[in-house]
Structure 1
């Protein structure tokens, strides 16, 4: 198993780490791979039939969905970052090496929603080891039952 602080050098290593986390928390796991510059989402200008980057490398992107609640998905980009969605709340530009700790925080019950009275608003807060946190604003009308149960 790849540890939280160990570097994930490739998309495939990151997928293996996520598969291990899914197993650890008894979650279903589904992955879709997009390989080649003409298939990855950030290289739409690559042109038809162009599979390699100008440096000759083959970009590899993966989309992972976890079963159960909370609804979780992770899009791993070739540029060593990820887009994580928790109950529809998107956390863009999460470094690939932070993804395992992020998911363990959510699945381990450490993530919570902070509520503010004025101006009214909510934030989903995901704490990571080393006093690091990720925060994203939520729409007040968009709180799912899972998010509502974590309001502090």
Structure 2
């Protein structure tokens, strides 16, 4: 499946809604619109809703209920932060979010543990030979993380 270009935060939210519907997951969406409301807007004038270029930035936070618990924070700069059962993936391109979520809910995401160096990693492969991998830092991994283990 070829990734679809998601030119706006709203188009990414629509794609996430479609995935939630496909997997029958309840979701909540919170939108922050305007430079005075988004988290990364340090360049805008105080109390200004527009960026210096006149655009209106849009940031969204999406929470998908279910197993595993997933949240997605979409930034105006075309990237996202995805958290899967308390494991944070920073700087995921906005265009990769749908494929990332399909891997998680479709059973492709898995954990790998190592004896040396010690650690448990959450691995999320997406089409196009891209794999996201983050260390599980929780001392008490969730049951979903433990169930999705594969041999290293």
Q: Which TM-score band applies after superposition, normalised by the shorter structure?
A: over 0.9
- Take 2:137 and 2:33, find their aligned partners in 1: how far apart are those partners? 35
Paired positions, count: 150
Match of 1:72 among 39, 55, 70: 70
1:127 to 119, 125, 128: 125
More helix by share: 1
Residues 28, 68 of structure 1: 8 Å contact kept? yes
Q: 1:53 deviation in Å?
A: 0.4
- How far apart are the structure 1 equivalents of 2:27 and 2:20? 6
1:151 to 137, 141, 149: 149
TM-score normalised by the chain length of structure 1: 0.94
Q: CA RMSD for the aligned pairs? A: 1.4
CA distance in 2, matches of 1:47, 1:122: 43
Q: For structure 2, which runs of at least 5 residues remain unmatched after alignment? A: none
The alpha-carbon deviation at position 54 of structure 1 amounts to 0.4
Alignment of 1:71-150 (within 5 A): 71-139=69-137, 141-150=139-148
Q: 2:40 aligns with which of 42, 46, 50?
A: 42
Structure 1: which 5+ runs fail to align? Answer: none
Counterpart contact for 2:30–2:62, Cα < 8 Å: yes
